[in-house]
Amino acid sequence: MTTDFYFAATMYSILVGGGLLYGVRAALKGRARHERVERDGGSAFVGKPFMEFGYWLMAPVVALLDRLGVTPNGVTVFSLWPAAGAGVAVAFGWFGLGCLLATTAAMADIVDGLLARRQGVSSDAGEALDAAVDRYSEFFFMTGLLVYYRGVLPLLLLSAFVLLGGYMVSYATVKAEALAVPAPRGNMRRSERAVYLFFGAGFTPLCELLAGPSRPLLVRQAPMILAIVIVAVVANASVVRRFRAIIATIRQREAASVAEAKPAAVVDEQRAAPADGPVRLMQ
């Protein structure tokens, strides 16, 4: 669809224009370091420079919203609307529009945290709201893919595994924290999944335009399908690695507790025994 390509082209313009400006900035002043990026770190799938670029790009937006008196929770709730719109767009095959709306929602997700820290109003309640909205936003986009690929069983199943992997990656972190176990980092966290899926959606209209309507679906929508395959495989492999690490840590902790308890039990037995040895019963 030519119209959908225009929405995708808007994303290309923002990405290329912002990238050029950031390149000039990096050449003159170095990379735009950010404390959250330094704390969380990048991964093999989304590196630190790309994350720093995203935070740098959002800095003027955060400053403007702060001057306008916008609240972080307001930004969080607002992000639900473009996220829901992205799901509807993708369900109808408008991948360019879906990418534009989903990216808007993702940018709002970055902005709300930065705005909260700028205003000094960060709180556990705000984090809880943000986490809930993140889950809904991801659900909207993936449901759109499930609806669109409902007639192609392999792609339907892969999309379902993307949704499953996304939720299980987050669940592994929550479960580790609940069990007081250091949460393994793993791959395909939400920001990484978003980058791959949104890029896949954004480049699909260009691929469709170049390939033409007569080519097979796997060719016309290769970027979206490739993104789904990568995220489905890597996210679920990451879940397995995470839970293996969590279970191994718990077993080590339990073994250490048993080892510490054994000497104490021996001491208690020695204290309970009479000093002159056991009493023999007379026949």
**Nearest by Cα to 53 from 31, 35, 38, 36:** 31
CATH code of 194's domain: 1.20.120.1760
Q: What is the pLDDT of residue 213?
A: 86
How is 32-75 classified by DSSP, letter by letter? ---HHHHHH---SSS-HHHHHHHHHHHHHHHHHHHHHT--HHHH
Mean per-residue pLDDT, 15-31: 87
Domain that holds residue 46: 2-266
pLDDT in tens, 105-122: 999 988 998 899 889 888
Q: What is the pLDDT of residue 84?
A: 97
**How many residues are there in the chain?**
283
The model carries a pTM of 0.85
Q: What is the pLDDT of residue 27?
A: 87
Q: What is the pLDDT of residue 227?
A: 96
pLDDT at 281 over 70: no
pLDDT at 280 over 60: no
pLDDT-wise least confident of 2-16, 50-64, 134-148, 267-281: 267-281
The whole-angstrom separation of Cα 107 and Cα 103 is: 6
Is residue 249 a part of any domain in this protein? yes
The whole-angstrom separation of Cα 122 and Cα 114 is: 9
Q: What is the pLDDT of residue 1?
A: 65
Q: What is the pLDDT of residue 230?
A: 95
Is residue 283 a part of any domain in this protein? no
Q: How many domains does the chain have?
A: 1
The whole-angstrom separation of Cα 8 and Cα 203 is: 7
Is residue 213 a part of any domain in this protein? yes
Mean per-residue pLDDT, 11-36: 85
The whole-angstrom separation of Cα 63 and Cα 111 is: 10
CB under 8 A, 24+ apart: contacts of 139-143:
139/87, 139/163, 140/83, 140/84, 140/86, 140/87, 141/83, 141/86, 141/87, 141/90, 141/98, 141/102, 141/197, 142/87, 142/166, 143/87, 143/91
Q: What is the pLDDT of residue 26?
A: 85
Is residue 76 a part of any domain in this protein? yes
pLDDT at 174 over 80: yes
**Nearest by Cα to 82 from 64, 65, 98:** 98
Q: What is the pLDDT of residue 53?
A: 83
Is residue 197 a part of any domain in this protein? yes
What percentage of residues in the chain have a pLDDT greater than 70?
88
30 vs 207 pLDDT, higher one = 207
Is residue 278 a part of any domain in this protein? no
SS3 for 102-129 is HHHHHHHHHHHHHHHHHHCCCCHHHHHH
Q: What is the pLDDT of residue 266?
A: 58
Is residue 272 a part of any domain in this protein? no
Give yes or no for a contact between 11 and 202, defined as CB atoms under 8 angstroms apart: yes
Mean per-residue pLDDT, 48-69: 87
The whole-angstrom separation of Cα 109 and Cα 129 is: 11
Is residue 276 a part of any domain in this protein? no
Provide the 8-state DSSP code for 283: -
pLDDT at 282 over 50: no
Mean per-residue pLDDT of the chain? 87
pLDDT at 211 over 50: yes
**Nearest by Cα to 188 from 130, 239, 135:** 239
